[in-house]
Chains A and B, each alone.
Chain A
Amino acid sequence: MARLAESLTTGSGSGSDLSRRCQAMAWRSLLGLVAFACFGCSNSPYPEEDSDTKILYRSFEEAPKNLDPAYAYTTSATAILGRVYDTLLEYHYLKRPYQLIGGIAKEVPTAEVLDDGTIRYGFELRGEMLYQDDPCFAAYGGGATRQVLAGDLVFAFQRLADPLVNSPVFQSFANLKGFAEFAKALAERRKRDPAFRKLPPREQYRAVGGISGVVSEGPHHFELVLARPYPQILEWLAMHFSAPVPWEAVQHYDGKEGRDHFKDHPVGSGPYYLSEYAKESRYVLEKNLNWYGVKHPEWKAAGAVYPTSGAPGDEAHGLLPAEYVGKPLPFIERIVTVRDKESIPAFGKFLQGYYDSSGIVKESFDQLVRGDALSEEMSARGMKLEKSAKSDIFYLGFNMDDPVVGSAKGARSRALRQAMSLMVDVLEYTRVFTNGRGIPAQSPLPPGIFGYDAEYKNPFRTVDLKRAQALMVEAGYPGGIDPKTNKPLRLSFDTSDTSPDGGARFKFFVKAWRQLGISVEVSATDYNRFQKKMREGAFQIFQWGWVADYPDPENFMFLLWSKMSRKKSGGPNTANFSNAKYDELFLKMATRENDDRRMEIMKEMRTLLEHERPWIELYHRESYVLRHGWLKNVKAPGLSLPVSKYWDLDAAERGRRRTEWNRPIYWPAFLLLFMGLAIIAPGIRTFYQERQ
């Protein structure tokens, strides 16, 4: 090296200067790097000063698209909106089946049938509730905040009906008296009156007379009047769509003169407020000191204190600890959510203690979970495994309009569907493809939903080759041979999953049906082509899933209601199932409260589906969530409900563990440097010796 340096200094004076400057720069850089290595090297992605604060760290994969509570309909948006906006009603944190409790409304109302046959729900709001502090209030002559009024709920419902807002849940509120008429009147007035169009939304709504079925009386009384029975409306009121919205926020955040758009700047009255929002990468929620639970702990409001009772087994699972029961919420000061598009880095950060909870990546499942419990290594690190059934259903569907597998051939095609249903071993499927995560589905209803019967066994969902073969004979395909061609019956299986993993999963079904002599060809196309086929009914068999919007059986049973046919109305009945008896039973069931009669009707529907087999029910997903021991009071909700206001964490314990788990190891760097020098130095020496 000395020779190399020497050769650098040969030549003119300026060359010597250059060499000296280079050497000085190199030394400075080396010193800088050494300093960074010794003092700055750390795998922590957070500032050190935050380590002792009660901050919940989470990750997300898909960026929220829109934070307008009337419009947003994605899990990623709900994770923010559910914390920022308080709703009229909410779900009990611990009880299953899900139970509604008061939110902004003091109690869950009961339906009152009026003389004209309409149904009224009356809500008494809690008084003295405030919105978060926000400049929008001062912009219209107010202070830092203002009270939540019944009129804000009226405004929120009017926005749901507003064609310009284009709410995805418009139809769910269409049973409200005057709802559709209001939307129509608004659209017509905007069309014919350009001056009207320029008015702020609140004034437009007032000018067309509002929605007759959405009424506020005084600042704290609110009523909804339904034109026809729809008890599920109460479930919708536990979601952010109808949360009270201050008109000032909608008017102020218009995207002009450097202001945000309202869809990026939620202003609510919930336990947290959005303090930082970098849509693509990270958002931060801070505890809202104006929230009624914080301002008025003496109210002991149901949704503002930790529950005093729960589901059976909750106490044994430590979910009702004495130090939390009845204590005011929320316990966590800040929620920092960081985007990690890829699951492997996100899971790595969880293992290092930089995220407080995480799902389990498939690749690490066997290493982390042994049987039904956490591995010893993970348990020793203080981790906990939370399992819960998700409110969803994954199924294989038949196109009921198809001439071969559909209903056209009556009993024959039914026998074919029954036979195919008897061949799909879902336990084996979940063992191979989902690490055993999944509860075999016997009907469309998942656990936790009224009507789910853990004892019920669908006679066509147990593998039975002999019975299936006999049914193939009934179907007119003995041994799977199509008499028209004298060759195996050929069917197609459509999917939008073109991945190798997807291919393996579909082969599982193909192989099962091959035992009956049926030849099923998998047609994997891109998402758009698949959607086109579904819309046009140009398919025979497909795989699909449905995640509940709200925990009511109607939200599953309507997936087979003929009015929801994908081909005819673009609805979610992708099997295009149409059965008059089923429709009749569905309409009866949909409008009833959860009572014995409703249960009977659902059993009848279940029997009908069991026989008709428009679907081969596969499984309900099971969520396996890992959390660190320092995160407390965690019960997985099963639905997309933000429940972190009930959680708590021990920041000191987390800090201690992080330090213990993440001490940098430096010696390989020095070893590598030494090895590099050891390899190169002799070469350099030889080179100069030879030249001399």
Chain B
Amino acid sequence: MLAYVLRKLAYGGLTVLGVLLLIFVIFFAMARPDDVARRALGEKAQGAQIEKWKAKHGYDKPLWPTLAKPGGSLLQAHYVSLLSFEFGNSDLNDSPIGTTIRDGMGASLALTIPMFLSGLVLGLVLALFVAFFRETYIDTMGVFLCVLGMSVSILIYIIGSQFVFAKMLRWFPISGFDTDVIADGNWNLLLRFLALPVTVGVLSSFGGDTRFYRTVFVEEVNRDYVRTARAKGAGEMRVMLRHVLRNAMIPILTRVVVAIPFLFTGSLLLEAFFGIPGLGSITVDAIAGNDFSVLRVMVYIFALLFILAQIATDISYTLVDPRVRLE
């Protein structure tokens, strides 16, 4: 297994290097260092100020290595800073990127972990429920609701829920988040802030998840070992929870573990609309503000997490299914 993991890590490393090159090429195909400086300094910045800013932030170097100066390019600095995890400061507001990410990750996780866990539990329970009542109108209605849920854009969920639950029914705040409520122990306020975005996040994904899990469960339900279990007198609920659920773990794990990196990177739309200062929101700001320094770090972190999640998924197969061997 070690050899397998090392091989995967090596492939992953190469993928990350490629991703870093790609983000560099795409970004500088769209923007010049002057544009980055102008966005940071504002529309009224003059030439001399822009030059000073570029020198301070290292954008006065040539983009690509040259024969005369092979080691002094922006591309080289880009790789060195990311691979050494020296993220530096934001182009837009000069804040240390490491600190920004640490702070933003807390807010993102406060949203995404409850969303992920409740979405997972709800998806599995609903899928088990409809699979249990398969081929009845409950199953048909469940599938219909899932397809309906999948067909609606998350923006509609967000705006609609803000209108219905926050404006009309007045159950939750329309938007807002305060990082201090955790430190202050004001859990009621934190719960109030997160209730609506978590609900929206779960609602927007439950259709797809439930459909997927239901398909897996229904497939398992028709297998021989299930018939054997029933023949031995196991109750239907015991069959579902003890046998079907356990044997459906591989496809479930694939879907679940791959989703883990997204927990750290936050949710772009939910964070923007609910005023949550997480990494999704920071990424949106970086895109809008030509903040290459933050954008590349976000892409880098996401690429690393994604590769690690892929490896973790493979390893988790061996844990849930003893027949699987990683070679």
Q: Is A1 an interface residue (CB 8 A)?
A: no
In the complex, how many angstroms separate the beta carbon of B126 from the nearest chain A beta carbon? 11
> Of all chain B residues, which has the CB nearest A73?
B42
In the complex, how many angstroms separate the beta carbon of B268 from the nearest chain A beta carbon? 11
State whether B170 touches A43 (Cβ < 8 A). Answer: yes
> Of all chain A residues, which has the CB nearest B36?
A528
Provide the residues of chain A in CB contact with B94, threshold 8 Å. 65-66, 261, 263
Q: Which of B29-67 contact A (CB under 8 A)?
A: 30-32, 34-35, 38-42, 44-50, 52-53, 56
Q: Which of A620-634 contact B (CB under 8 A)?
A: none
State whether A569 touches B290 (Cβ < 8 A). Answer: no
Provide the residues of chain A in CB contact with B150, threshold 8 Å. none
In the complex, how many angstroms separate the beta carbon of B279 from the nearest chain A beta carbon? 10
Binary B-proximity of A337-351 (CB < 8 A = 1, otherwise 0): 011111011101101
Q: Which of A262-282 contact B (CB under 8 A)?
A: 263-264, 276, 278-282
State whether B172 touches A43 (Cβ < 8 A). Answer: yes
A7 to B235, CA, bound (A): 6
State whether A281 touches B277 (Cβ < 8 A). Answer: yes
From known contacts A45-B193, A339-B275, A341-B275, infer whether A15 and B238 are also in contact, taking CB-CB under 8 Å: yes
Q: Is A524 an interface residue (CB 8 A)?
A: no
Q: Is A36 an interface residue (CB 8 A)?
A: yes
Q: Is B22 an interface residue (CB 8 A)?
A: no
State whether A166 touches B49 (Cβ < 8 A). Answer: yes
A680 to B48, CA, bound (A): 71
Residue in B103, B168, B238 whose Cβ sees the most chain A Cβ within 10 Å? B238
A197 to B211, CA, bound (A): 65
In the complex, how many angstroms separate the beta carbon of A688 from the nearest chain B beta carbon? 10
A339 to B35, CA, bound (A): 26
Binary A-proximity of B75-105 (CB < 8 A = 1, otherwise 0): 0000000000000000011111000100110
From known contacts A65-B92, A344-B159, A679-B141, infer whether A338 and B275 are also in contact, taking CB-CB under 8 Å: yes
> Of all chain A residues, which has the CB nearest B275?
A340
Stretch of A207-215, A320-328, A642-650, A657-665 at the chain-chain interface: A657-665
Q: Is B320 an interface residue (CB 8 A)?
A: no
Q: Which of B167-193 contact A (CB under 8 A)?
A: 167-180, 186, 188-189, 191-193
A650 to B22, CA, bound (A): 56
A47 to B178, CA, bound (A): 11
From known contacts A15-B238, A45-B176, A264-B95, infer whether A63 and B46 are also in contact, taking CB-CB under 8 Å: no
From known contacts A73-B44, A168-B42, A348-B166, infer whether A340 and B175 are also in contact, taking CB-CB under 8 Å: yes
Q: Is A8 an interface residue (CB 8 A)?
A: yes
> Of all chain A residues, which has the CB nearest B186?
A47
Provide the residues of chain A in CB contact with B138, threshold 8 Å. 680, 683-684, 687
Provide the residues of chain B in CB contact with A163, threshold 8 Å. 52
State whether A665 touches B168 (Cβ < 8 A). Answer: yes
Binary B-proximity of A641-681 (CB < 8 A = 1, otherwise 0): 00000000000000000000011111011000000000110
Q: Is A570 an interface residue (CB 8 A)?
A: yes
> Of all chain A residues, which has the CB nearest B239?
A11
In the complex, how many angstroms separate the beta carbon of A13 from the nearest chain B beta carbon? 12
Provide the residues of chain A in CB contact with B20, threshold 8 Å. none
Provide the residues of chain B in CB contact with A99, threshold 8 Å. none
State whether A686 touches B277 (Cβ < 8 A). Answer: no
Q: Identify A345's interface contact among B174, B234, B236, CB under 8 A.
A: B174
Q: Is A478 an interface residue (CB 8 A)?
A: no
From known contacts A40-B188, A168-B41, A345-B162, infer whether A10 and B235 are also in contact, taking CB-CB under 8 Å: yes
Q: Identify A663's interface contact among B50, B104, B170, B189, CB under 8 A.
A: B170
In the complex, how many angstroms separate the beta carbon of A426 from the nearest chain B beta carbon? 23
> Of all chain B residues, which has the CB nearest A340?
B275
Residue in B38, B170, B189 whose Cβ sees the most chain A Cβ within 10 Å? B170
State whether A687 touches B174 (Cβ < 8 A). Answer: no
Provide the residues of chain A in CB contact with B177, threshold 8 Å. 281
In the complex, how many angstroms separate the beta carbon of A566 from the nearest chain B beta carbon? 11
State whether B35 touches A280 (Cβ < 8 A). Answer: no
Interface size class of B (residues with CB under 8 A): 35 or more
Provide the residues of chain B in CB contact with A74, threshold 8 Å. 42
State whether B35 touches A528 (Cβ < 8 A). Answer: yes
State whether B235 touches A348 (Cβ < 8 A). Answer: no
State whether A168 touches B49 (Cβ < 8 A). Answer: yes
> Of all chain A residues, which has the CB nearest B236?
A7
State whether B35 touches A531 (Cβ < 8 A). Answer: yes
Q: Identify A687's interface contact among B133, B167, B275, CB under 8 A.
A: B133
Q: Identify B290's interface contact among A11, A341, A528, A668, CB under 8 A.
A: A528
Provide the residues of chain B in CB contact with A43, threshold 8 Å. 166, 170-174
State whether B175 touches A571 (Cβ < 8 A). Answer: no
Binary B-proximity of A33-75 (CB < 8 A = 1, otherwise 0): 0001100111111010000000000000001111000000110
In the complex, how many angstroms separate the beta carbon of B308 from the nearest chain A beta carbon? 26
Provide the residues of chain B in CB contact with A166, threshold 8 Å. 49, 52-53, 56
Q: Is B136 an interface residue (CB 8 A)?
A: yes
In the complex, how many angstroms separate the beta carbon of B49 from the nearest chain A beta carbon? 6
In the complex, how many angstroms separate the beta carbon of A434 from the nearest chain B beta carbon? 21
State whether A41 touches B93 (Cβ < 8 A). Answer: no
Q: Is A462 an interface residue (CB 8 A)?
A: no
Q: Is A198 an interface residue (CB 8 A)?
A: no
> Of all chain A residues, which has the CB nearest B133?
A687
From known contacts A11-B238, A683-B133, infer whether A352 and B167 are also in contact, taking CB-CB under 8 Å: yes
Provide the residues of chain A in CB contact with B180, threshold 8 Å. 276, 278
Q: Which of A208-255 contact B (CB under 8 A)?
A: 255
Q: Is A17 an interface residue (CB 8 A)?
A: no
Provide the residues of chain A in CB contact with B189, threshold 8 Å. 45, 47
A171 to B282, CA, bound (A): 33
A338 to B176, CA, bound (A): 8
Q: Is B272 an interface residue (CB 8 A)?
A: yes
In the complex, how many angstroms separate the beta carbon of A64 from the nearest chain B beta carbon? 8
State whether B178 touches A684 (Cβ < 8 A). Answer: no
A4 to B92, CA, bound (A): 58
State whether B277 touches A280 (Cβ < 8 A). Answer: yes
A203 to B281, CA, bound (A): 41
A7 to B129, CA, bound (A): 13
State whether A349 touches B174 (Cβ < 8 A). Answer: yes
Provide the residues of chain B in CB contact with A171, threshold 8 Å. 46
Provide the residues of chain B in CB contact with A4, threshold 8 Å. 237
Q: Is B220 an interface residue (CB 8 A)?
A: no
State whether A526 touches B171 (Cβ < 8 A). Answer: no
A570 to B236, CA, bound (A): 76
Provide the residues of chain B in CB contact with A352, threshold 8 Å. 167, 170, 174
> Of all chain B residues, which has the CB nearest A348?
B174
Q: Identify B237's interface contact among A10, A263, A664, CB under 8 A.
A: A10
Q: Is B273 an interface residue (CB 8 A)?
A: yes
Given A43-B173, A341-B281, output 10 extra A-B contacts at Cβ < 8 Å. A43-B166, A47-B189, A166-B53, A170-B48, A280-B277, A282-B178, A338-B275, A344-B162, A531-B38, A665-B170
Closest 10 CB pairs of A and B: A10-B235, A281-B277, A45-B176, A65-B93, A280-B277, A45-B173, A345-B175, A528-B35, A570-B47, A683-B138
Name 22 interchain pairs, CB-CB below 8 A, sorted by A. A41-B171, A42-B171, A43-B171, A45-B173, A45-B175, A47-B186, A73-B44, A166-B52, A170-B49, A279-B95, A280-B104, A280-B285, A345-B275, A351-B167, A352-B170, A352-B174, A528-B31, A532-B35, A549-B44, A662-B170, A664-B170, A687-B133
